[in-house]
Amino acid sequence: MTVAQSLKQLAKLTLHAALALSLVAAPAFAADPNAEARANSIYKDAKERFEAGDLAKALSLVKQAEGLFAHPAIVFLRGRVLHKMARLREADEALRLADSATLPKPLQKPLADERVAVAEEMRAKGELLLTVDPDTARVTIDGEDVRLDSVGWLAPGKHRIEAAAPGFQPMVRDVQIPTGESATATLRLVPVAGSLVIVVPGGLRDAEVRLDGLLVELKAGEKLGDRTPPMHVQAGPHRVVCNRGSEESAHDVEVSASGATEVTCTDIAPSTGTARKVVGWTGVAAGAGLVGVGAYGLLSYFLVDAKDPRYSDPRYEVSHNKVIFGSTYVALGVAVGVCSWLFLLRDPKPAESER
């Protein structure tokens, strides 16, 4: 065997030893023989996404590839993506992990240059630890849109942070970023209240209304109509569910911060308490009529024209029947009206409400 053949055999053995170490370090690959090929395919997609500027997708893909086979080239790409996203501490850690003897030689100098660039940037900039609630808010720094997962290091000095989200009051915060150090900023947006009215055809008497899973509590008088009083809720999406017996009507509604929003539960049958309503409101009307007749009799007695030649003394010579019957009608009308109103307010029997 020649010297060249011996060296070739030694290199082959070294390569096999390195591969064996990789298998030990990446048990997912050892368990799945196709893991390296799948990781390489995902790595290529991640690199294309990175070069196209889709950093969030590139980071997601490179993490998938690294989970299958943690090759230093894949870790190096993760460091580059994090560097581009201004997440310098994470980038520095990833680049340190990628600095391995198994890293392909063509990538060794780019890795060294990347590590130097990250270190210089960390010395020249300051870290912003930003928290925004809700995390779905639109955030701008110095007028430019940013993603919360890409906010990290900024140039030293004063920066203006603005956050806005549907259903919340916008917030502005100025923060001073020190050189080479960290600054913390927390923006918790305050919800904006909107007005919501829920309409239940057939009335609220024997209906159950829920808003975002919570029962809407209504007073007895509020159940007489078919719509709830305006409820102050946070502007934004809500879910309304109406039940009557075994029937249910569910609706997703977007509550506006300006003006009242109305939603109608259209998929449930009208209430079966129509007879009670007719009797109750008829009694109320009858009571009001009796009060009116009685009041007319009393007024005709007390307001008679004192100069009427038919009466020498209007106060005492006009028939007292008007006072007696007028008072009786008023009292009877009040009694009928009050009883009818209480009848309307009475909770229905279980059999009548089908519960």
Q: Which of 22-26, 46-50, 112-116, 251-255 has the lowest mean pLDDT?
A: 22-26
Look at residue 223 in the predicted model and tell me its pLDDT: 79
Q: Does domain 3-124 have CATH number 1.25.40.10?
A: yes
> Taking the chain, what is the end-to-end CA distance rounded to the nearest angstrom?
96
Kindly state the percentage of the chain with pLDDT values over 70.
69
Average pLDDT, rounded, for the chain: 78
Residue type, position 177, single letter: I
Q: CA-to-CA distance for 249 and 228, rounded, in angstroms?
A: 16
Spell 193-230 as b/e; 16+ CB within 10 A means b. Answer: ebbbebbbbbbbbbbbbbbeeeebebeeeebbebebee
55: CB partners within 8 A, 6+ apart: 49, 81, 84, 85, 150
Residue type, position 133, single letter: D
Look at residue 320 in the predicted model and tell me its pLDDT: 61
Most confident of 14-23, 133-142, 283-292, 307-316: 133-142
Look at residue 3 in the predicted model and tell me its pLDDT: 42
Residues 80-129 pLDDT 10s: 999 998 889 899 999 999 998 888 889 999 999 999 999 999 999 998 88
Half-sphere exposure of residue 46: CA atoms within 13 angstroms, side-chain side: 26
β-bridge partners, 163: 139, 171
Residues 234-267 pLDDT 10s: 888 899 999 887 888 899 998 887 778 889 888 7
Stretch 24-28: mean pLDDT, rounded? 42
Residue with tokens 């009051």: 169
β-bridge partners, 193: 234
Look at residue 29 in the predicted model and tell me its pLDDT: 40
Look at residue 79 in the predicted model and tell me its pLDDT: 94
pLDDT grade for 342, boundaries at 50, 70 and 90:
low
The architecture of the domain spanning 126-188 is Sandwich (2.60)
| pLDDT over 90 (residue 305) | no
For residue 247 the two structure tokens come to: 């029937």
Stretch 10-22: mean pLDDT, rounded? 40
Q: Does domain 193-264 have CATH number 1.10.3470?
A: no
| pLDDT over 80 (residue 287) | no
Look at residue 343 in the predicted model and tell me its pLDDT: 62
How much is the pTM?
0.48
| pLDDT over 80 (residue 56) | yes
Which of 109, 88, 177 is CA-nearest to residue 141?
Answer: 177
